[in-house]
Amino acid sequence: MPVRFELHGIALSGPTYKVGLMLSLAGEPFDYEHVDMMQGAHRQPAYLSKQRYGQVPLLIDRNNGRHLCESAAILEYLSDILGRFGGATLDERLQAREWLYWDFDRLASNVYRARTIKLGIRSAPAEVYEAHVAGGDAALKVLDRHLAGRAWIVGEGATIADIDIYGVVTYAGEAGLDLADFPNVMTWMTRVEALPGFASTKTLLPMESRVAA
Ligand X SMILES: N[C@@H](CCC(=O)N[C@@H](CS)C(=O)NCC(=O)O)C(=O)O
79 near ligand X (CB under 6 A): no
Q: Which stretch binds ligand X (CB under 6 A): 7-15, 21-29, 59-67, 201-209?
A: 7-15
**Cis link prior to 57 (omega < 30° from 0)?**
yes
Contact residue for ligand X among 24, 71, 159, 201 (CB under 6 A): 71
**Helix H or strand E encompassing 2:** none
Size of the site for ligand X (CB under 6 A): 10
Which amino acid, one-letter code, is at 92?
Answer: E
Helix residue ranges per DSSP H, 103-154: 108-118, 126-147
Taking the CA atoms of the chain, what radius of gyration do you get in angstroms?
A: 17
User: Cα separation of 142 and 98, whole Å?
Assistant: 14
Q: What's the closest the beta carbon of residue 74 comes to ligand X, in angstroms?
A: 7
- The gap between the terminal CA atoms of the chain, to the nearest Å, is 12
199 near ligand X (CB under 6 A): no
Taking CA atoms, 161 is separated from 23, 61, 93, 113, 118, in Å, by 14, 22, 9, 20, 26
Q: Is the CB of 25 or the CB of 111 nearer to ligand X? A: 111
Contact residue for ligand X among 6, 13, 93, 176 (CB under 6 A): 13
Q: Which stretch binds ligand X (CB under 6 A): 51-59, 81-89, 123-131, 138-146?
A: 51-59
Residues 133-172 that bind ligand X (CB under 6 A): none
Contact residue for ligand X among 7, 22, 56, 153 (CB under 6 A): 56
Contact residue for ligand X among 11, 26, 31, 54 (CB under 6 A): 54
Q: What is the DSSP letter of 105?
A: I
15 near ligand X (CB under 6 A): yes
User: Cα separation of 17 and 164, whole Å?
Assistant: 9
Q: Is the CB of 71 or the CB of 170 nearer to ligand X? A: 71
Q: Which residues bind ligand X (CB under 6 A)?
A: 13-15, 42, 54-57, 70-71
